[in-house]
Amino acid sequence: MEMKLFKKLVAVALFGLGAASAVQAESLKVSIEIPRLNVAEYHNPYVAVWLEDESRKATQIAVWYDLEMRNNEGEKWLKDLRQWWRRGGRGLDVPVDGITSATYGPGEHALEVAIADSDLAKLAPGKYRLRIEAAREVGGRELIEIPLTWPLEKSSLPLSAKGKEELGSIQVALLP
């Protein structure tokens, strides 16, 4: 009898742990639209995504740039993402696993970051700004800010913003 009760308690405890980890297994999803521009010379934009607290401390989420240039020359143009560069970009030793990737062309692109497995898990509760910056060779530059409160609450989502030239629609959501 005692062994059956013990097994049931262990099963309930393990199920409870599974449920708790499932709650914490949320991912931040940021959808970024890069519009198709009708220009003579088009280059894919460099894009940086970061979360900034009220003291302007940055938590890096993603940086898209040209990884294929010879001699890592794509890194030289990262400073064109001016706000990102000032908010921690210059201190990064790129490429950074899980943060940097190749730049993308026109279309909608989604970033998914497992909160528990990233620096987002260390964020203190409070007010933040999600910042998305794009810069394009022979093109423009654009910065979008989305104010939010961390931790995110599903009732306040999705959050959205819209760029004017270099960026299109931006959506922020949580995934289970």
Which pLDDT value is given to residue 26? Answer: 94
How many structural domains comprise the chain? 1
Q: What pTM, to 2 d.p., does this model score?
A: 0.84
DSSP states of 102-128 as a string?
E---SEEEEEEEEGGGSGGGGPPSEEE
> Which backbone phi and psi does 21 adopt, to 5 degrees?
-70, -30
Residue 47: which domain range?
26-175
> Is residue 95 situated within a structural domain?
yes
> Is residue 14 situated within a structural domain?
no
The identity of residue 20, as a single letter, is A
Q: Give the Cα separation of 122 and 72 in Å (integer).
A: 31
> Is residue 51 situated within a structural domain?
yes
CA-derived radius of gyration, the chain: 20
> Is residue 41 situated within a structural domain?
yes
> Is residue 7 situated within a structural domain?
no
| 41-75 confidence digits (pLDDT tens) | 999 999 999 999 999 999 999 999 999 899 888 99
Q: Give the Cα separation of 81 and 133 in Å (integer).
A: 6
| 138-176 confidence digits (pLDDT tens) | 899 999 999 999 999 999 999 999 999 999 999 999 999
> Is residue 4 situated within a structural domain?
no
> Is residue 16 situated within a structural domain?
no
Mean pLDDT over the full length of the chain = 88
Residue 17 pLDDT level (bands cut at 50, 70, 90):
very low
> Is residue 153 situated within a structural domain?
yes
The identity of residue 69, as a single letter, is M
